Amino acid sequence: MKKNWNSQFSDNLKGYGGYSIGKLFALLSDPEIISLAGGLPSPEMFPKEDMRNASQKLLLENLDTIFQYTNIKGESSLLEAIIKFLKRDNIDVSEENIMITSSGQHGLDITGRLFLNPGDIVFVDRPTFAGAIVAFQLQRPEFIGFDIEEDGPDVASYLKKIKELQKQDKKPKFIYVVPDFQNPSGITMSLEKREALLDLSYEYDIPIIEDSPYRDLRYYGKTIPSIFELDQRREEGNVIGLYTFSKLFCPGIRVGFNIGPKDVIARMINIKEGNVLNTPKYNQDMCTAFLTEMNYEPHLEKCRNYYREKLKVFLQTMEKYFPAKMGVTWTKPEGGLFLWVTVPEHIDTYELFYEALKFKVAFVPGSTFYGENSSKNHMRINFSFASKEQLAEAVKRLSSCIKSKL
């Protein structure tokens, strides 16, 4: 190839490396490796029989329409089902407040495109969801990260930074949070902090992007109102909610939805017009069936029981194989699919990843989850995909691997 394409690429792509986890996942083809790396829900939790029935019905009855172009905003039947679904979480929206997306990742991409100019500031947690970083990065913002605490984002530091930025006539374009069982840390934001974040959002006029893929996967403790709900109670409209069917139904369906003030949603639809146009109707109809025909409440309860057991096994085995003297700590999530392990500071988990492959176990190095100034001695662990036996074995292998570095 003679042509040098690099000079042709847009400024937005300069220095953009994409999703770095992808490169690591390519190394996990050895079937002996127990991977705790992906964010995969367990296929055992796919409602398979219901999916077969719903799919068969669609193929038999709606073949003329399900593979046609369809509404850009989304199918009315799905919008209606989502409105009902959100009501059980005390969120009251109408069709004008929702846009169907082709996955949570798509929802993030559209959010970044809607709000960010190059150089705009985005507040994120340290660590935060890597997919959000790569989605927003395409608009070349500046990330400012704040160490997440046991009860969620460090709202006091947000405030301090906002005041500092004010002196330079700057402010963040938005604050991105995953308040429930955050990916990657598993940490949940307390009610007090949700309220404090809203106070700050109103006082300084900074929108909040609340990304909520795991809200329904709570295994312990009491549900805390979403920031979207709290904002609705205060009638301000400063919050945009991002949702996906990936973790509750199945990720391959690639359907999610964004909710927010109608002016915001209208502009998001404009972006989708030039972007994917419509989300496949078949996939949307399958999600409608999930919400209307598949008895999703007992299904979600089944998922909670199943993942709770896996989490329990993981945590119990960690206690056994990581005695305090090893200097390894980990979060104890009340839900979701992930937890966050911190190893002694001299261990770089990016290097440890390759060492762990020799022990036939894999995780995601923590440095992937930072918008800026990444920290090197952490790892994200997924406990939803591997079997309980594999989880216990993986912990043993991890322990041996880390011991070899102490």
> Footprint of ligand PLP on this chain (CB under 6 A)?
39, 103-105, 129, 131, 178, 183, 211, 213, 244, 246, 251, 256
Nearer to ligand PLP, 172 or 213 (CB): 213
Nearer to ligand PLP, 137 or 183 (CB): 183
User: If you search the block for the tokens 């912990």, which residue do you land on?
Assistant: 395
What tokens does 401 get? 């691997």
* Nearest-approach distance from CB 28 to ligand PLP, in angstroms: 17
Q: Is 371:335 a contact under the CB 8 Å cutoff? A: no
Nearer to ligand PLP, 111 or 317 (CB): 111
Nearer to ligand PLP, 135 or 144 (CB): 135
Nearer to ligand PLP, 216 or 401 (CB): 216
> What CA–CA distance (Å, rounded) separates 293 from 287?
10
* Nearest-approach distance from CB 126 to ligand PLP, in angstroms: 15
* Nearest-approach distance from CB 401 to ligand PLP, in angstroms: 25
Cα-Cα-Cα-Cα dihedral sign, residues 230, 232, 236, 242? positive
* Nearest-approach distance from CB 136 to ligand PLP, in angstroms: 12
User: How long, in residues, is the chain?
Assistant: 406
Q: Which residues contact 19 (CB under 8 A, 6 or more apart)?
A: 130, 131, 134
> What CA–CA distance (Å, rounded) separates 196 from 234?
13
* Nearest-approach distance from CB 253 to ligand PLP, in angstroms: 9
Nearer to ligand PLP, 183 or 331 (CB): 183
- Quick one: which of 315, 352, 264 has its CA closest to 73? 264
Nearer to ligand PLP, 139 or 399 (CB): 139
Q: Report the SS3 class of residue 311.
A: helix
Strand bridging mode 329-330 / 338-342: antiparallel
* Nearest-approach distance from CB 47 to ligand PLP, in angstroms: 17
The rounded Cα 12 to chain-centroid distance in angstroms is 23
* Nearest-approach distance from CB 37 to ligand PLP, in angstroms: 12
Q: What phi and psi values does residue 178 have, to the nearest 5 degrees?
A: -120, 90
* Nearest-approach distance from CB 254 to ligand PLP, in angstroms: 7
Cα-Cα-Cα-Cα dihedral sign, residues 12, 16, 18, 19? negative
User: If you search the block for the tokens 């964010």, which residue do you land on?
Assistant: 39
Question: Distances in Å between the alpha carbon of 254 and those of 192, 246, 248, 280?
Answer: 33, 7, 12, 9
Neighbours of 243 (CB within 10 A): 26
Q: Which residue of the chain is nearest ligand PLP when measured via CB? A: 104
Nearer to ligand PLP, 129 or 143 (CB): 129
